[in-house]
Chains A and B, each alone.
Chain A
Amino acid sequence: AQSVTQPDIHITVSEGASLELRCNYSYGATPYLFWYVQSPGQGLQLLLKYFSGDTLVQGIKGFEAEFKRSQSSFNLRKPSVHWSDAAEYFCAVGLPQGGNQFYFGTGTSLTVIP
């Protein structure tokens, strides 16, 4: 069965520090991969996605993610975190089969301290 693992439930970083959020997936082939961000009381917003090609993907708000097939990972990074980045981050896989089912990780809550 497919699964998405985000091993870090909560991360705290200082403003201006670098950030890496981890995501691992379990699936027989390479799925479509996504990172979403959710601010309090809001829906999910897409940060970036990977379908194929270049394994380093650039997204909005200065985020990037790198797909590593050998590690079944798709980690999210940002070189310098801003206070407005405090939110919940979800990794997701999309399975292109009869309706494009999406499976989400349990999320990582990011706190940014001044």
Chain B
Amino acid sequence: NAGVTQTPKFQVLKTGQSMTLQCAQDMNHNSMYWYRQDPGMGLRLIYYSASEGTTDKGEVPNGYNVSRLNKREFSLRLESAAPSQTSVYFCASDRNTEAFFGQGTRLTVV
């Protein structure tokens, strides 16, 4: 049972570079989420997708875009990375309002 799988686990970007964080779940969940975790701020919702083909902004969407490619996959894209986007990113999916989390992607923007 893989659950929620995120790639990569670690990434260092230069300011202005772009990259896509990948997330896949094998639990047939409809809803998927992207969060960022920063010290002293808990987890903040970036974007979520209630079902395949739909996406909505969360608390902190600026600087990010998402794609719900199919039911399994939900990617997060940084078009022009900024140092303020240095964070740990978590993908999650949910069943009956219980969220399941990936292991996280630690992103550093220099």
Give A contacts to B, CB under 8 Å.
4, 6, 9, 32, 34, 36, 41-46, 49, 51, 90, 92, 94, 96, 98-107
Q: Which of B40, B90, B94 contacts A43 (CB 8 A)?
A: B90
User: Can you name the residue of chain A whose Cβ is closest to the Cβ of B58?
Assistant: A101
Q: Which residues of A contact B101 (CB under 8 A)?
A: 36, 43-45
C-alpha gap A18/B94 in the complex (Å): 32
C-alpha gap A96/B90 in the complex (Å): 20
User: Can you name the residue of chain A whose Cβ is closest to the Cβ of B35?
Assistant: A104
C-alpha gap A103/B45 in the complex (Å): 7
Q: Which residues of B contact A104 (CB under 8 A)?
A: 35, 42-44
B57-91: CB near A (< 8 Å → 1, else 0) gives 01000000000000000000000000000000010
Number of interface residues of B (CB under 8 A): 26
B10-52: CB near A (< 8 Å → 1, else 0) gives 0000000000000000000001010100001111110011100
Inter-subunit contact B94/A100 (CB<8 Å) = yes
Inter-subunit contact A99/B40 (CB<8 Å) = no
Inter-subunit contact A90/B42 (CB<8 Å) = yes
